[in-house]
Amino acid sequence: MSAGHLVAGIGIRPGTDAADILACLDQALAIAGLSGSATPRFATLASRVAEAGMIAAATDRAAELVAIPDEALKGFEAACATRSTRIASLYGVGSVAEAAALAAAGPGGELVQPRIATARVTCALARTTS
In this prediction the pTM is 0.92
> What 3-state class would DSSP assign to 31?
helix
In this prediction, residue 91 has a pLDDT band, given cuts at 50, 70 and 90, of confident
Of residues 87, 89, 91, the one with CA closest to residue 68: 91
Residues in the chain: 130
Whichever domain contains 28, its CATH number is 3.30.420.180
Count of structural domains within the chain: 1
Would you say residue 1 lies in a domain? no
User: Which runs of E-coded beta strand occur in the chain?
Assistant: 6-12, 41-45, 64-68, 110-117, 121-127
Per residue in 67-83, pLDDT (tens digit) is: 999 888 888 888 989 99
Per residue in 38-58, pLDDT (tens digit) is: 999 999 999 999 999 999 999
Would you say residue 45 lies in a domain? yes
The boundaries of the domain holding residue 14 are 6-127
> What 3-state class would DSSP assign to 54?
helix
- Our CA dihedral for 7, 130, 59, 97, rounded to 10 degrees, sits at -10
Count Cβ atoms below 10 Å from residue 71 Cβ, excluding itself.
10
